Structure 1
């Protein structure tokens, strides 16, 4: 197969799924634009603020995507080959991830933009609600830990290929300028500047920020030798705090729009570059479709495809984090019910297509190995080089690709902290400004403690913090997806709609993730048996055990309810909140 055929088949499959599957699920859920959405009924200018789907889609897309559909597919492609990774991206996005995102958004909108956890409380019980909130909160914390460390590493380490070099400090400077531009864009739009002119002004300024980065490098490793990455971790967590307590119009919405259009830009030009490079013979598939990874039973140092593939590629196929975004920030901004199709289902399919682009960066390598950000930047800069007909310096394109990688993570970090704050406030009943601040502080305590722990090693090599927690992040994320699908299935059963699709997704994801958590336990046992164990591995094993207990408990609570006769339950209205 050529890379052109890979791209064309992927795009056609996703486009067909949006047209036909998208139309079917819209009819299935009975979306009606006559129903006023919570963005209007609860409008407050802080969290509830209606915007059209063309503005909401890039924000939602950038929040759910970030580095997930980059890191996951690249890791899976290097471990298992691009063949099984591609199949999971296609199947997962259309039949599990897309259904998950769409139904959780609709369920939230139909329940006054309340979270999936609130739906669990209404249709299962109070105990399951509390357990679900704790589960979501823990999952979000590990998303913050994993992505903050990935970004911190990109800010201190110099990435390079044969043709280009991108110093991490330059990427850090460009990223800070990007955030400042987003804030100025938010202020400008709040003062009356329309969305179109705002994008016309600020998108080119982001390109200026990229070019300015190398001339204003912020090298913390040079200032504080040996502590640069830790300091960046702390600064990124401080940014998360600020982003969580500011109004959505100041940073979340404008940064989301800028990030979303960057994703569009990368995807369109990336695929164009693949087509041009493929036709000219400059780009071809070099990596093997399958690795030597076993199907079911791993060996020393080699993980099996089942279940590890399905927790390695989360964003890009199916991700529980999306349900938190859909029922957290997106449902509070949806203007019409019918917008759920392009925003939620379309957003998931776009993310699947983006994951295919990331996978293409692995496919062009003769030996698919290396850090995900370097593999990604190498691939994207190659694709863009052909898209621009080799008229732009490779160095600039490489720098641009790494900045995009960092900005995508910012999109998830601030949205994730805000969502974790929502969850903790919901769990504790805290309200007002003091509640917002305390919920954010407590949410960030565990990430601060974890990034402060000494580094771990594996086979004598130092393991980056994000790599230690990636499987745990993937497992908790996919378990969250399974439980969200279970909650949706219970709700659909109560209102008399078909629930086979979400129930299938629940069983599939539940089996894969519990299986992977059991393997994590066995791996930890082997490390303990072989001698000393780093504190990070103990934290990983402990959290894995907690997640398993919570997941099994929640599933048991739902099973008890499922056995009972269906009772008519009316969704709470805004006046009852």
Structure 2
């Protein structure tokens, strides 16, 4: 119990201490108008209250990532909790803050545009393709996962295939609507309520464990277990843990979502709460589910058996109903189902906006929105026919690669503006090594090389990229990278 509370306290302290450091390094300007004001269009650029923007941001970035990822990561033991804390404070929240604030400073631009602006056109073209692929994978994962969970919940004697197909069709229909209507009509109106539900659900479940006579939070584990690999399947902790637990520690998907709320935030001073703070909130949710998985089943072996017999969705089902009973279990389980749905629609919305930026197509007209959205849903529908496990594996790698690109983009920005860049460069170096080592070593997705040679190549490649980014960025001067638009300060328009 003490280790869990210590981890939560560390995340909260990270927000107030390290979050303030990041905010100071970036250098906010409270008197500068944000894109929500200067580009207000009633569709995507819509000013909303800070509390509402925070809750929507939290729900957008959450999905099943901070639940499924930590459950799978818990197979490594309490070491997963250590990565959630350190990754969230020093990498994930920093990544989210810069992806959001750089978008604010650049007219609400999406991640490919930001990458191109600070790393060059080659990087921009790469990210345009990579971001669309990632978002399509996210959209498909966040159709299949909730559809599967709902099917397992309502299925009795009915044909599961028919039920699953019906759920996929219903969710896709909702996605189409939510992707093309103005952001404040569905997302801005209902998602803050769902965000609050997510928080209450997670706190309710961990409180149920704390009050349970059958289960004890982290009761079967010792301090030394925080620093050891307990995976019963003999899977290596390096680098797989850092790919498995993405959302909750660091996730490139967030870089595609932060610009959505960058278009709705009405003052730069709210950036730390909205972007850094939402990631800390997700980190706490990830900690709760990691602790729940370990505490409810009592050992990594029992957890491994549950995962093998039904995946992380079964862990959610068993723990929700086992701790809260039928009524509370249904509410908690449906709360988990809502998460991927509310991230899946924003994944398709982000895809639409990225394509619109690329083709320079104004999105105020419904016809233009449909022109961008329809092809995306056709491709997404095709991908739902691919095995979920295959999609999830590719999603994990694509997700962390996107995070790497965003961190290097932030480093280039800081270098060009002569600011302290190591706050983004160090996590960029670490995650670059992770993704390169993973793809070289993994025999299913990558090249199946030995761990030693994969790590060596990963480190050498990381050093080469680090040197290149520093060389092309340092000393360029602020005037080389002026913002796309220079709106007048708020005081001049009052």
- Displacement of 1:471 after TM fit? 2.2
Query: Contact (CA 8 Å) 2:206, 2:292: kept in 1 or not?
Result: no
| Structure 2 residue matching 1:45: 3-state secondary structure | coil
What CA distance in whole angstroms lies between the structure 1 residues aligned with 2:87 and 2:473? 29
Match of 2:48 in 1: 51
Between the two proteins, the alignment pairs up a number of residues equal to 458
Pair 1:373–1:395, CA change in 2 (3 A): same
Match of 2:143 in 1: 148
Pair 1:382–1:286, CA change in 2 (3 A): farther
What CA distance in whole angstroms lies between the structure 2 residues aligned with 1:575 and 1:342? 23
What CA distance in whole angstroms lies between the structure 2 residues aligned with 1:281 and 1:7? 18
**What 5-or-longer segments of structure 1 have no aligned partner?**
158-166, 170-218, 295-300, 386-393, 454-464, 527-547
Match of 1:126 in 2: 121
1:517 to 434, 439, 446: 439
- Displacement of 1:561 after TM fit? 6.5
Query: Contact (CA 8 Å) 1:56, 1:333: kept in 2 or not?
Result: yes
| Structure 2 residue matching 1:94: 3-state secondary structure | helix
Match of 1:139 in 2: 134
Match of 1:422 in 2: 353
RMSD, aligned CA: 2.8
Query: Contact (CA 8 Å) 1:373, 1:402: kept in 2 or not?
Result: no
The reply to whether residue 25 of structure 1 matches residue 31 of structure 2 is no
Query: Contact (CA 8 Å) 2:416, 2:475: kept in 1 or not?
Result: no
Question: TM-score normalized by structure 1?
Answer: 0.74
What CA distance in whole angstroms lies between the structure 1 residues aligned with 2:277 and 2:73? 24
| Structure 2 residue matching 1:306: 3-state secondary structure | coil
Q: Map 1:274-423; keep pairs closer than 5 Å.
A: 274-277=209-212, 282-285=215-218, 289=225, 292-293=230-231, 302-327=234-259, 329-364=260-295, 365-366=297-298, 367-368=302-303, 369-370=306-307, 371-381=311-321, 385=324, 394-423=325-354
- Displacement of 1:128 after TM fit? 2.1
The reply to whether residue 493 of structure 1 matches residue 405 of structure 2 is no
- Displacement of 1:467 after TM fit? 2.2
- Displacement of 1:468 after TM fit? 2.2
1:168 to 138, 145, 154: 154
Query: Contact (CA 8 Å) 1:152, 1:229: kept in 2 or not?
Result: yes
The reply to whether residue 479 of structure 1 matches residue 407 of structure 2 is no
What CA distance in whole angstroms lies between the structure 1 residues aligned with 2:71 and 2:89? 20
What CA distance in whole angstroms lies between the structure 2 residues aligned with 1:19 and 1:452? 45
What CA distance in whole angstroms lies between the structure 1 residues aligned with 2:395 and 2:173? 21
- Displacement of 1:523 after TM fit? 5.9
- Displacement of 1:270 after TM fit? 3.2
Query: Contact (CA 8 Å) 1:124, 1:557: kept in 2 or not?
Result: no
The reply to whether residue 262 of structure 1 matches residue 197 of structure 2 is yes
**What 5-or-longer segments of structure 2 have no aligned partner?**
449-457, 489-494
- Displacement of 1:89 after TM fit? 0.3
CA deviations over 1:73-96 (Å, ceiling 9, x no partner): 001113x22x22111101100000
Q: Map 1:77-92; keep pairs closer than 5 Å.
A: 77-78=74-75, 80-81=76-77, 83-92=78-87
Question: TM-score normalized by structure 2?
Answer: 0.85
Match of 1:114 in 2: 109
Match of 1:435 in 2: 368
Pair 1:84–1:556, CA change in 2 (3 A): closer
